[in-house]
């Protein structure tokens, strides 16, 4: 197999190196194209652009494969935990017992936010979206850790990473309590990561929330399944900000903003809103499917489709099973789950969805689990952000550790006006 691609341009032939990944993925290296030819490549929405080499997560969208550091997501979902998967993503290997203990201890030691941070929560209106609060508070946290700025950042990476993973959960729970006018509940040292989050969300001052193992397990699975997903919109945003050597907290806060949109992490909230709307209108789903096929309706089947997966999203398969198991064990029936299953069945038979290879993604069933747990809809994307934090940190670390890292700076093809002159305001019409 040739290790160069040949490009013929204006009568000249250029050789471009081929880069091959460890899973056999091939890319044409165009980094020297402009200096050699005067041309750039154009790829609106980056659908065909490899923005980096990364050793963290592998996806084969055609085959529906997802692996963290080479380990299939199905094995991790079955046997691992969110905290262990976080270590795997960030440090590149499964922790041994000592490493696991040290990492867990660091998470526990750093679970409380700085007490002065609590005043910041007072400034948000009661109806503020928790993603706005989360992003603002992660950024505000960086003010409390001056070591984040400058070269000490690298030496203290482990502590900063543990702080961010641990405190994002505390900030999320505090913002929920604040928006519901409830007193904040502090973390408890004896609880593990996910149990502690549920405790901070749902305990009250006089009575602790009853931690049911099946609920803790289901939420831990949601965190684990969201922990990384290679160069998606929010992770690329984190890398973009990190490439300017901004600190870890600033980079992660930018990731939260990118995740918020309904075409990305905000889809889990949009799915439940869509299912609720279908339920209230008395539709069995068929009217909505017709509308989703019509480009003029402005409606999409939320939780369906993916830029990379052109096959069933493996996370959706795992979540669908977990959803059935949790609802059964809690003896809960949810009409929205029935609608979701009907929608999926109907959509997968429709030529519109088949031809475009649109399958359920991770967001299609995760909201139903969160509803059953009692997490309000506006917190769904926050849950996604808590889960995604290790992936963002792993990508931040990859940039920080790369001696050849450069600032990210894409180019563009300018299509605006040319040859314009400045007109003084008095002469403008």
- Quote the least distance from Cβ 303 to ligand ACO, whole Å: 5
With a CB cutoff of 8 Å and minimum separation 6, the contacts of 410 are: none
Q: Which is nearer to ligand ACO, 241 or 267 (CB)?
A: 267
Q: By Cβ distance, which residue is nearest to ligand ACO?
A: 305
3-state DSSP assignment of residue 12: strand
- Quote the least distance from Cβ 129 to ligand ACO, whole Å: 17
Hunting for tokens 């409390």 — which residue is that? 144
- Beta-strand pair 4-9/57-60: unpaired
Q: Which is nearer to ligand ACO, 200 or 258 (CB)?
A: 258
Residues between 130 and 169 that touch ligand ACO (CB under 6 A) = none
For residue 62, what are its two tokens? 């055609």
Cα separations (Å) of 15 from 2, 30, 220, 270, 411?
11, 10, 49, 47, 22
DSSP assignment string, 362-386: THHHHHHHHHHHT--GGGHHHHHHH
Tell me whether residue 283 is one of the annotated catalytic residues: no
Task: Let me know: does 182 contact 205? Beta carbons within 8 Å.
Answer: no
Q: Which is nearer to ligand ACO, 26 or 46 (CB)?
A: 46
- Quote the least distance from Cβ 216 to ligand ACO, whole Å: 23
Residues between 341 and 400 that touch ligand ACO (CB under 6 A) = 356, 358, 361-363
Bridge partners, residue 58, by sequence:
67
Q: Does 307 bind ligand ACO (CB under 6 A)?
A: yes
Q: Which is nearer to ligand ACO, 202 or 260 (CB)?
A: 260
- Quote the least distance from Cβ 153 to ligand ACO, whole Å: 29
Q: Which one from 119, 363, 401, 402 is the annotated catalytic residue?
A: 363
Q: Does 320 bind ligand ACO (CB under 6 A)?
A: no
Q: Does 89 bind ligand ACO (CB under 6 A)?
A: no
For residue 49, what are its two tokens? 């652009």
Bridge partners, residue 17, by sequence:
4
Tell me whether residue 306 is one of the annotated catalytic residues: yes
The residue length of the chain stands at: 429
Choose among 340, 377, 336, 392: nearest CA to 361: 340
Cα separations (Å) of 53 from 10, 31, 222, 248?
31, 13, 27, 20
Q: Which is nearer to ligand ACO, 103 or 304 (CB)?
A: 304
- Quote the least distance from Cβ 306 to ligand ACO, whole Å: 5
Residues between 239 and 298 that touch ligand ACO (CB under 6 A) = 263-265, 267, 292
Q: Which residues are catalytic?
A: 306, 363
- Binding-site ranges for ligand ACO (CB under 6 A): 263-265, 267, 292, 300-307, 356, 358, 361-363
């Amino acid at each position: 197999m040739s290790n160069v691609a040949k490009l013929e341009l204006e009568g000249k032939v250029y050789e471009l190196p081929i880069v091959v990944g460890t899973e056999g993925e091939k890319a044409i290296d165009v980094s020297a194209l402009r200096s050699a030819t005067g041309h750039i490549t154009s790829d609106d929405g980056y659908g065909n652009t490899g923005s980096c080499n990364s050793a963290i997560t592998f996806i084969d969208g055609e085959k529906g494969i997802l692996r963290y550091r080479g380990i299939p997501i199905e094995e991790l979902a079955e046997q691992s935990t969110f905290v262990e998967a976080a270590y795997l993503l960030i440090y590149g290997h499964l922790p041994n017992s000592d490493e696991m203990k040290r990492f867990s201890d660091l998470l526990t030691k750093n679970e409380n936010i700085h007490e002065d941070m609590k005043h910041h929560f007072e400034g948000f209106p009661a109806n503020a979206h928790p993603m706005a609060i989360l992003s603002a508070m992660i950024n505000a946290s960086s003010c409390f850790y001056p070591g984040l700025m400058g070269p000490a950042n690298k030496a203290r990476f482990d502590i900063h990473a543990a702080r961010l993973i641990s405190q994002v959960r505390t900030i999320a729970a505090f913002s929920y309590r604040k928006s519901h006018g409830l007193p904040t509940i502090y973390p408890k040292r004896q609880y593990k990561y996910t149990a502690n989050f549920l405790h901070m969300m749902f305990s009250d001052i006089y009575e602790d929330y009853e931690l049911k193992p099946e609920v803790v397990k289901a939420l831990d699975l949601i965190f684990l399944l969201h922990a990384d997903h290679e160069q998606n919109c929010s992770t690329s945003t984190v890398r973009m900000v990190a490439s300017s050597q901004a600190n870890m907290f600033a980079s992660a806060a930018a990731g939260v903003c990118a995740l918020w949109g309904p075409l990305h992490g905000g889809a889990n909230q949009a799915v439940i809103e869509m299912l609720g709307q279908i339920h209230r209108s008395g539709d069995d789903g068929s009217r909505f499917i017709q509308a989703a096929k019509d480009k003029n309706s402005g409606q999409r089947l939320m939780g369906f489709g993916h830029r990379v997966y052109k096959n069933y999203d493996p996370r959706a398969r795992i979540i669908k099973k977990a959803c059935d198991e949790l609802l059964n064990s809690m003896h809960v029936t949810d009409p929205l789950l029935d609608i979701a299953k009907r929608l999926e069945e109907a959509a997968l038979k429709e030529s519109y969805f088949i031809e475009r290879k649109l399958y359920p993604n991770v967001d299609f069933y995760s909201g139903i689990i969160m509803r059953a747990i009692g997490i309000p809809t506006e917190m769904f994307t926050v849950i996604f952000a808590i889960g995604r934090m290790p992936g963002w940190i792993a990508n931040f670390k990859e940039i920080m550790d790369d001696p050849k890292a450069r600032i990210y700076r894409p180019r563009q093809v300018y299509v605006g006006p040319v040859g314009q002159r400045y007109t003084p305001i008095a002469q403008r019409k």
